[in-house]
């Protein structure tokens, strides 16, 4: 027998976007269900967890959830640069601890968390949307006024309603979390060139102590390369800075997909909001989006809650959410996509020269660039500050992509 449950808002997916949306919606007084297909929140890790200290402070993420990073290494086949700072400006999240902290915050606002519950279908009705689900206790029908689809790459609800299709371009990433004999908790590495990834990059991200994450990301469909096989190869060969790690003992394997299709998708419909990876809200340069997921998850929850207060659940009533996040990051993501398209076509020799360009940047300029924080004023300032023609060319590409 199917269990019938009614809520004001149902959020699908207990990742950073979903838990944040559920938290903010419930905080405004609504009955909210948070539905997660896995047995525990973050049972499977699909991301490396790179983010930035300004976001850590903005969201008040507790210290036990992250490792701060001060030094940023960039390695090409025949070149290497390390840009260092006195204080940490980036961080690597313990993904499980962070996601569970976010889910616990939601539960403290009386959000009902349904674990091991898989959404199998969605249909509109006179009151909103009904979600069909399976759980160990049987079938469930979730009746609600608004759904927030934070199901990630798969976009479960959007596809079930026939509103979205599969992403055409995306990043596939494979990663080992390992114990490394000579791990440096203060330093990360980005590694580029054909030996690492012909359409992407490899990385070493420190999680603190002796634990690091070594991974490979590959752009699809630009390359047919299997990131898992390439990851095994570069570890076996101890390429580049991997050789400095000494003895490596694998702990856990991670694999994930992240959209890289630009901002090609509508994110609001009648009774439905898409957020996080479901909405394609990711920085194309290093394919990170946790900060966007949390920030715009909160906006999605608030928007849904306010729409219910108004008694208007239409796309027009929800469009302020899309206007909010596009105003904040659309030009930055479009600019970063332009730079990424240029990077994908670089040869090893061109990458070696590119690192000479990067070497000219200050730590603030470098991190703004990696974060895809492309403000016109900062672009002009960097181009003037660094007289090398190559630097000017690089930032002219970014400036051109902003349309200004």
User: pLDDT digit string (tens) for 213-261?
Assistant: 999 999 999 999 999 999 999 999 999 999 999 999 999 999 999 998 8
- The pLDDT, as a whole number, for residue 374 is 62
The closest of 372, 401, 158 to 266, measured between CA atoms, is: 158
Backbone angles phi and psi of 67, in degrees to 5: -115, 120
Q: How many percent of the chain have pLDDT more than 90?
A: 78
> How far is 375 from 357, CA to CA, in rounded Å?
19
CATH code: domain 50-93+169-259 is 3.30.9.10
CB-based contact 32:306 (threshold 8 Å): no
Cis peptide before 158 (omega within 30 of 0): no
**Contact present, 183 and 56 (Cβ < 8 Å):** no
- Which among 197, 287, 189, 190 is positioned nearest to 234, based on CA atoms? 197
CA 3 to chain centre: 34
As a whole number, mean pLDDT of residues 148-159 equals 97
Task: Share the mean pLDDT of the chain.
Answer: 91
Q: Determine the Cα–Cα distance for residues 400 and 141; give it in Å rounded to an integer.
A: 49
* Interatomic CA distance for residues 166 and 26, integer angstroms: 30
What are the structural domain ranges in the chain? 3-43+96-165+264-329, 50-93+169-259, 334-402
Candidate CATH numbers 1.10.620.20, 3.30.565.10, 3.50.50.60, 3.30.420.40; the one for domain 3-43+96-165+264-329: 3.50.50.60
State the pLDDT at residue 370: 83
Q: Please determine, for residue 332, whether its predicted confidence score (pLDDT) is greater than 90.
A: no
pLDDT at 388 over 90: no
How much is the average pLDDT of 328-350? Answer: 84
380 has pLDDT over 60: no
Per-residue model confidence as pLDDT tens digits over 40-87:
999 999 999 999 999 999 999 999 999 999 999 999 999 999 999 999
Look at residue 172 and tell me whether its pLDDT is greater than 60: yes
Q: Residue 230: CA atoms inside 13 Å, Cβ hemisphere, count?
A: 25
SS3 14: coil
> DSSP label at 98?
H
Lowest-confidence segment of 129-133, 242-246, 258-262, 310-314 by average pLDDT: 258-262
Contact (CB, 8 A) for 139 and 133: yes
| Dihedral, 251, 53, 339, 384 alpha carbons, nearest 10 | -140
Identify the CA nearest to 80 among candidates 197, 242, 227: 242
Please answer whether residues 96 and 45 qualify as being in contact, where contact means their C-beta atoms are separated by less than 8 angstroms: yes
CA 319, 323, 326, 328 torsion: positive or negative?
A: negative
Pairing of strands 32-35, 3-12: parallel
Encoding tokens for residue 77?
Answer: 């086949």
- Residue 70 to residue 113: CA distance in whole angstroms: 37
**What percentage of the chain exceeds 70 in pLDDT?**
92
Among 26-30, 77-81, 341-345, whose mean pLDDT is lowest?
341-345
Do 157 and 12 touch, CB atoms closer than 8 A? Answer: yes
* Number of Cβ within a 10 Å radius of residue 323: 12
Which band of pLDDT confidence, cut at 50, 70 and 90, is reported for residue 404?
A: very low
Q: Do domains 3-43+96-165+264-329 and 50-93+169-259 have the same CATH topology?
A: no
113 or 329: whose pLDDT is higher?
A: 113
Q: Which of 389, 382, 386, 387 is nearest to 399 (CA)?
A: 382
């Amino acid at each position: 027998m199917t269990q019938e449950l009614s809520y004001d808002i149902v959020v699908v997916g207990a990742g950073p976007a979903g838990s944040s949306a559920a938290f903010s919606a419930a905080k405004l007084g609504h009955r909210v269900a948070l539905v997660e297909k896995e047995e525990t929140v973050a049972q499977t890790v699909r991301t490396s967890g790179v983010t930035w200290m300004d976001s850590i402070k903005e969201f008040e993420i507790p210290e036990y959830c992250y490792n701060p990073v001060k030094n940023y290494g960039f390695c090409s086949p025949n070149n290497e640069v390390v840009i260092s700072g006195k204080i940490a400006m980036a961080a690597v999240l313990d993904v499980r601890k962070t996601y569970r902290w976010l889910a616990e915050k939601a539960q403290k606002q009386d959000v009902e968390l349904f674990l091991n519950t898989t959404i199998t279908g969605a249909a509109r009705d006179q009151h909103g949307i009904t979600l069909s689900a399976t759980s160990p206790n049987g079938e469930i029908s979730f009746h609600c006024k608004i759904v927030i689809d934070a199901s990630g790459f798969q976009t479960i609800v959007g596809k079930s309603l026939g509103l979205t299709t599969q992403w055409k371009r995306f990043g596939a990433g494979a990663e080992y979390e390992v114990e490394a004999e000579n791990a440096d908790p203060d330093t990360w590495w980005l590694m580029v060139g054909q030996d690492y990834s012909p359409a992407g990059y490899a990385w070493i991200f420190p999680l603190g102590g002796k634990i690091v994450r070594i991974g490979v990301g590959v752009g699809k469909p630009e390359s047919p390369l299997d990131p898992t096989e390439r990851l095994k190869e570069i570890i076996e060969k101890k390429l580049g800075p991997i050789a400095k790690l000494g003895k490596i003992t694998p702990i856990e394997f991670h694999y994930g997909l992240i959209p890289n299709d630009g901002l090609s998708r509508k994110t609001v419909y009648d009774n439905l909001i898409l957020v996080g990876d479901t909405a394609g809200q990711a920085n194309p340069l290093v394919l990170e989006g946790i900060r966007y997921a949390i920030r715009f998850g909160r906006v999605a929850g608030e928007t849904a809650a306010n729409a219910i207060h108004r008694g208007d659940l239409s796309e027009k009533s929800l469009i302020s959410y899309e206007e909010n996040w596009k105003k904040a990051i659309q030009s930055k993501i479009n600019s970063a996509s332009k730079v990424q398209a240029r990077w994908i076509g670089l040869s090893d020799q061109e990458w070696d020269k590119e690192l000479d360009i990067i070497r000219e940047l200050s730590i603030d300029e470098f991190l703004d660039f990696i974060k895809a924080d492309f403000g016109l004023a900062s672009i002009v300032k960097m181009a003037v500050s660094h007289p090398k023609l190559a630097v000017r060319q690089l930032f002219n590409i970014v400036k051109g992509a902003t349309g200004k």
